A and B are shown apart, each in its own frame.
Chain A
Amino acid sequence: MSQVATVESAAIQEVQAASSSAELRAIEIKYLGKSGELTTLLRLIGTLPNEEKPKFGQQINEAKARVTALIEERDAALKGGEMLAQFEREKIDITLPGRPWRIGREHVLQLTANKIRRVLGGLGFRYIETPELEHVNYNFAALNYPPDHPAMDDQDTFYIDDDTVLRTQCTAMQGRIFEKVKPPLRYFTVGRTFRNEAVDRTHGHTFHQVDAVMIDEGISMADLKGVLELFAREMFGENAQVRFRPDFFPFVEPGVDYAISSPKFAGGRWLELGGAGLVHPNILRAYGIDEEKYSGFAFGLGVERIPMLAHGVDDLRHFLENDLRFLDQFTSEI
């Protein structure tokens, strides 16, 4: 056996016997390193006759290549094993609690308002906020309430003084809009309203409303129904339907109470959501809007009613009490 073959077979034996990648690295240096046993054999080349030199060099290189390949192969196997062993050592209990990170969240009424705002914004309405402490005129007279009319009894009002009330309805935004903006227009708000009512599971002195108004040429009850239906479908699911029932609000004529029905809620029962109708011609006239050219609709609804329907909240009082055990349960919009 040639010297090369002897060294090579010793190397192969050692590689095969290596039990760790560290050992393997040592073997690699011992045979293939700068002063490794196979590498140093090349020095013998000078002692050989010229015609044998290329062959000898080739033998060494081939041997080195074989040993290298074997080391790589062996290394891969050893490393795999070692990694598996390491994984075993690094085994953790994945059921231990996660490391805390402070996550902020929005209130369920905010989440509801966000969704309403996305839907109505998408339907072409512009968002606006107007005062909660409102001039009595915007809350009543500008909305076609006759002076001292029983319709006002429907909304027990908190008066601050003779001129100032806590708004009883977000519809109070209308006068402020009509003073500044000429039709065509589409506006909506989500805001807080107040009524002097006794507090129980379904009544409060403070609640929130959505109120929208649209004025353009040729707007009809059918447009109102269409917009409400689309709104209801975005809010309550694809198959939601809208039903109108005559009702009286001084600021609309015709006036309706609208209900929605969705297979997702209350077994498809009709659920009354709010009031709507065509903007009263007295209001259009009062703001110099040509009632023959323009007509429009308005609608309102209670914000709290939506999570109550969607999530089974059975007591209105939960919303403003800020118990985190309540609030933390709401993570999606509805």
Chain B
Amino acid sequence: MKFPYQMLLDYVQTSLDAEGIGDLLTMAGFELEGIEEVDGDKVLDIKVMSNRGDGLSVFGLSREVLAKDPKSSPTKLYEAAVAGFPGDEWPVMSPSPITIESKECNRFCGLVLENAGNGSTPDWMQKRLKQAGMRPISLLVDLTNYIVLELGRPMHAFDFDKLKGNRIVVRQAKAGEKLTTLNGDEHELKPDQMMVCDAEHPVGAPGVMGGLETEISESTTRVFVESAHFLNTAVRKLRKQLGLNTDASYRFERSVDPESCLQGLRRFHQLLQEAGVSPKVVGFADEYPNKPQTPTVNVRVSRANLLLGMPVTAAEAKGYLERLGMKVSGDGEPFSVQIPTWRPDLVQENDLVEEIGRIHGYDRIPTRLPHGTTLVSGTFGIEAFIDRVREEVVRAGFTQIISHSLRDVHPLDANGKRIMPRNPASPEAAYLRNALWPCLADAARRNQGEGLALFEIGRTFTANGERQELAVMTVGELLPVHWVKSQSPEADFYSLKQALLDICHQAGVTASVVAPKSSDPRLHPYQQAELHGEGGAFGLFGRIHPTAAEESSLSPDTVLATIDLERMFASRRDDIHLKPISRNPAVRRDIAILVDEAVPFASIEQTIGKALGGELERMWLFDVYKGKGIPEGKHSLAVALQLRKLGENFTDEEANQARDRAVQALASLGATIR
């Protein structure tokens, strides 16, 4: 809220300048957002917390200044405001023109004045309104605006003679009723909406905006000034339904003091007179069916000391609460505190502990380290597992990206229903990602799409809920081009396969690569595979489908993987048993075989493994050849066998026999030695 510093001086006698007041309010919880000079005066812009509606006025902030700074003192105007601006008694209208039928209206006061509008707003008031960012309109409107700024009390002026039956009825709207608000909008009303009505129909949206039909004008002779109190939840509901955010609704939602109804009207009358207008008071009415309870809350000074962690004496605590307008009795164990009507946020002991601490000063809280129970800290479970996986992916040479989960659709999205917010921020952020590949694709494009090895660990969202996933992508040269050797290996299915198996192994998951039962349309149909663990499939990888590549502006050589980290976690093993290490030397035998290309290498591996058993320490493929000298449909494979025994050396003879056994076994696959 914005107000000129001069206005505060009406209420507080202080040696603090505008900056000093700004600092003081900031440390009281009313943050200074800025000070600007407008029309020769300093104007403060203060952010008021959503539970402190009482701070949305110069009077309310003056109370905070006086509580926080014992050197400042109240002015006569402040004391008059506290007393409710007493003046001549007004004749009470009988019968009352006001009827309250709605439970959402606590109080409704009206003051009817004759010949009130034939004056002009004093220059000083116009200046202050402008400084606070408001536009002067006419005396009566300006007065209500000024009183909102000064006292935080919203009011509304009706043309009394336009109110049918000269009556006000606060009731729920009837089906089919309409209201045209001051801004010209017509609203169809619903029966759950409280309305300010005259004898016949709605004339104002309570706490939000008045009606156009009963607006005051130059021809107005009798004005009905409304000063009322409505439930904050009712005002909030109504302004949402009507789609009207107004200064009044903002204040009512954050609470307005019901006891200030009369204070507002008194000030209105007083300022009108100060403006040189002496209207005739036709009459006054006050319907107050729901006078709020002023609760009593206990606070123990000892508890305040314990929770604040700083010493505050009972006398100090009492002083702070009293300066904030509370009535305090008792010896401090506890104090019994009567809560003022403008502070509905104070309902229990901690609330008062905060008040005591706030005024005493949070800068006086010492620093201390908790001494208490020692607990096991750090990271365990799936959180620790994901940390481990991330470390391994980084170690395998991938660069981490972190992307938006709210995004647009993408050709690399997973199949299935997408989750989307009802109220998206923009079309580019309308969906929750159901896969991480689109994020990697975006990052690849942003970085020229070549020579990249990227990964992301993040959450994806489907109709089945939220999942934690790892996705990796490589495209182009695995290593940057170098002057020593200009050719670098290119990323392909096999480079990704090995990286994934290494990552899984290092993370304690024994993974196998399995051909998928049905192929994923985002990947090349014959260059894709699943990663399986003890709990079944947990990952998918392969080369991008050329169509998806084109649609995503990616190279068709891009390879991608996605891993469900929760499923991978469920597949991890923690049963490593050390195998004995042989001290005997290993021998190597190589075999070159001619075999149908259709025979998967895995069968060859399994066949050799079965034939040689535990004596086969390791085997690896070191050459694949086809072309000249090799029949069509076949290829030649060169496989190295590393053999070793525990406690005994392999003789040449035994090694040769082992090789022959392998070759014989391979015959079952149609393989012949070359």
**Which residues in A have some Cβ–Cβ distance to B below 8 Å?**
96-97, 99-107, 109-110, 117, 121-129, 131-133, 147-151, 153-154, 158-161, 166, 184-186, 192, 194, 196-199, 205-206, 214, 216-223, 225-227, 229-230, 242-248, 250, 253-257, 278, 280-282, 295, 319-324, 327
- Are B379 and A220 closer than 8 Å at their CB atoms? no
User: Chain B residues near A229 (CB, 8 Å)?
Assistant: 367
**What's the nearest-Cβ distance from chain A to residue B55, in Å?**
11
In the complex, residue of chain B having the shortest beta-carbon distance to the beta carbon of A183: B373
Provided the pairs A107-B400, A222-B368 are in contact, do residues A102 and B362 lie with their beta carbons within 8 angstroms?
no
Could you show 10 A-B contacts with beta carbons less than 8 Å apart?
A: A102-B478, A133-B465, A149-B50, A158-B421, A199-B426, A206-B405, A221-B365, A226-B367, A253-B353, A255-B354
Say yes or no for B377: interface residue by CB 8 A criterion. Answer: yes
User: Chain B residues near A131 (CB, 8 Å)?
Assistant: 466
Known contacts A104-B397, A124-B374; 20 additional CB pairs below 8 A are A100-B482, A101-B479, A105-B399, A121-B379, A127-B379, A133-B466, A147-B233, A148-B233, A158-B422, A166-B406, A166-B432, A184-B372, A184-B373, A216-B372, A218-B372, A219-B372, A223-B368, A250-B51, A254-B354, A322-B402
Main secondary structure of the interface of A (DSSP, over half): mixed
Which of A99, A196, A322 has the most chain B CB within a 10 Å cutoff? A322
Distance, CA A22 to CA B236, complexed state (A):
101
Provided the pairs A196-B425, A222-B367, A226-B369 are in contact, do residues A150 and B50 lie with their beta carbons within 8 angstroms?
yes
Say yes or no for B71: interface residue by CB 8 A criterion. Answer: no
User: Chain A residues near B484 (CB, 8 Å)?
Assistant: 99
Distance, CA A97 to CA B349, complexed state (A):
69
Say yes or no for B610: interface residue by CB 8 A criterion. Answer: no
In the complex, residue of chain A having the shortest beta-carbon distance to the beta carbon of B439: A322
Distance, CA A324 to CA B446, complexed state (A):
9
Say yes or no for B5: interface residue by CB 8 A criterion. Answer: no
Of B23-31, B157-165, B268-276, the one touching chain A: B23-31
User: Chain A residues near B617 (CB, 8 Å)?
Assistant: none
Which of B368, B390, B443 has the most chain A CB within a 10 Å cutoff? B368
- Are A110 and B402 closer than 8 Å at their CB atoms? yes
Which of B370, B379, B394, B480 has the most chain A CB within a 10 Å cutoff? B370
Query: Which listed residue, A254, A281, A327, touches B357 by the CB 8 Å rule?
Result: A254
- Are B233 and A245 closer than 8 Å at their CB atoms? no
User: Chain A residues near B50 (CB, 8 Å)?
Assistant: 149-151, 153-154, 248
- Are B401 and A327 closer than 8 Å at their CB atoms? yes
- Are A205 and B429 closer than 8 Å at their CB atoms? yes
- Are B482 and A247 closer than 8 Å at their CB atoms? no
Say yes or no for B310: interface residue by CB 8 A criterion. Answer: yes
Provided the pairs A222-B367, A248-B52 are in contact, do residues A327 and B378 lie with their beta carbons within 8 angstroms?
no
**What's the nearest-Cβ distance from chain A to residue B420, in Å?**
7
**What's the nearest-Cβ distance from chain B to residue A273, in Å?**
14
Query: Which listed residue, A160, A221, A230, touches B419 by the CB 8 Å rule?
Result: A160
- Are A205 and B425 closer than 8 Å at their CB atoms? yes
- Are A133 and B402 closer than 8 Å at their CB atoms? no
- Are A295 and B307 closer than 8 Å at their CB atoms? yes
Distance, CA A244 to CA B310, complexed state (A):
14
User: Chain A residues near B426 (CB, 8 Å)?
Assistant: 199
User: Chain B residues near A219 (CB, 8 Å)?
Assistant: 370, 372
Query: Which listed residue, B308, B401, B403, B423, touches A220 by the CB 8 Å rule?
Result: B308
- Are A227 and B309 closer than 8 Å at their CB atoms? no
User: Chain B residues near A246 (CB, 8 Å)?
Assistant: 27-29, 354, 358, 362
Say yes or no for B650: interface residue by CB 8 A criterion. Answer: no
- Are B253 and A159 closer than 8 Å at their CB atoms? no
- Are B400 and A104 closer than 8 Å at their CB atoms? yes
User: Chain A residues near B354 (CB, 8 Å)?
Assistant: 246, 253-255
- Are A245 and B400 closer than 8 Å at their CB atoms? no
Provided the pairs A104-B394, A124-B377, A281-B348 are in contact, do residues A221 and B383 lie with their beta carbons within 8 angstroms?
no
Provided the pairs A127-B378, A133-B419, A158-B421 are in contact, do residues A222 and B366 lie with their beta carbons within 8 angstroms?
yes
User: Chain B residues near A253 (CB, 8 Å)?
Assistant: 350-351, 353-354
What is the interface size of chain B, counting residues whose CB is below 8 A from a CB of the partner? 89
- Are B406 and A194 closer than 8 Å at their CB atoms? yes
Query: Which listed residue, B306, B363, B420, B424, touches A244 by the CB 8 Å rule?
Result: B363
User: Chain A residues near B401 (CB, 8 Å)?
Assistant: 107, 322, 327
Query: Which listed residue, B31, B382, B383, B399, touches A104 by the CB 8 Å rule?
Result: B399
In the complex, residue of chain A having the shortest beta-carbon distance to the beta carbon of B303: A292
- Are B377 and A97 closer than 8 Å at their CB atoms? no
User: Chain B residues near A324 (CB, 8 Å)?
Assistant: 399, 447
In the complex, residue of chain A having the shortest beta-carbon distance to the beta carbon of B484: A99
Say yes or no for B38: interface residue by CB 8 A criterion. Answer: no
User: Chain B residues near A256 (CB, 8 Å)?
Assistant: 362
Provided the pairs A104-B397, A124-B374, A219-B372 are in contact, do residues A322 and B350 lie with their beta carbons within 8 angstroms?
no
User: Chain B residues near A104 (CB, 8 Å)?
Assistant: 393-400, 453, 455
- Are B377 and A159 closer than 8 Å at their CB atoms? no
Distance, CA A15 to CA B351, complexed state (A):
101
Query: Which listed residue, B51, B350, B466, touches A151 by the CB 8 Å rule?
Result: B51
User: Chain A residues near B581 (CB, 8 Å)?
Assistant: none
- Are B375 and A102 closer than 8 Å at their CB atoms? no
Query: Which listed residue, B373, B376, B429, B483, touches A126 by the CB 8 Å rule?
Result: B376
User: Chain B residues near A106 (CB, 8 Å)?
Assistant: 390, 394, 400
User: Chain A residues near B26 (CB, 8 Å)?
Assistant: 245
3 closest A-B pairs by beta carbon, nearest first, are A222-B309, A246-B29, A220-B309
Distance, CA A171 to CA B488, complexed state (A):
48
In the complex, residue of chain B having the shortest beta-carbon distance to the beta carbon of A147: B233
**What's the nearest-Cβ distance from chain B to residue A290, in Å?**
14
- Are A125 and B377 closer than 8 Å at their CB atoms? yes
Say yes or no for B534: interface residue by CB 8 A criterion. Answer: no
In the complex, residue of chain B having the shortest beta-carbon distance to the beta carbon of A154: B50
Interface bits B489-520 vs A (CB < 8 Å: 1, else 0): 00000000000000000000000000000000
Interface bits B401-439 vs A (CB < 8 Å: 1, else 0): 111111000000000000111111110010010000000
Say yes or no for B63: interface residue by CB 8 A criterion. Answer: no
Interface bits B511-536 vs A (CB < 8 Å: 1, else 0): 00000000000000000000000000
- Are B421 and A159 closer than 8 Å at their CB atoms? yes
Distance, CA A117 to CA B349, complexed state (A):
34
Query: Which listed residue, B351, B383, B459, touches A132 by the CB 8 Å rule?
Result: B459
User: Chain A residues near B453 (CB, 8 Å)?
Assistant: 102, 104
Distance, CA A184 to CA B371, complexed state (A):
11
- Are B308 and A222 closer than 8 Å at their CB atoms? yes
User: Chain B residues near A101 (CB, 8 Å)?
Assistant: 479
Provided the pairs A105-B394, A124-B377 are in contact, do residues A254 and B358 lie with their beta carbons within 8 angstroms?
yes
Say yes or no for B661: interface residue by CB 8 A criterion. Answer: no
Distance, CA A185 to CA B484, complexed state (A):
58
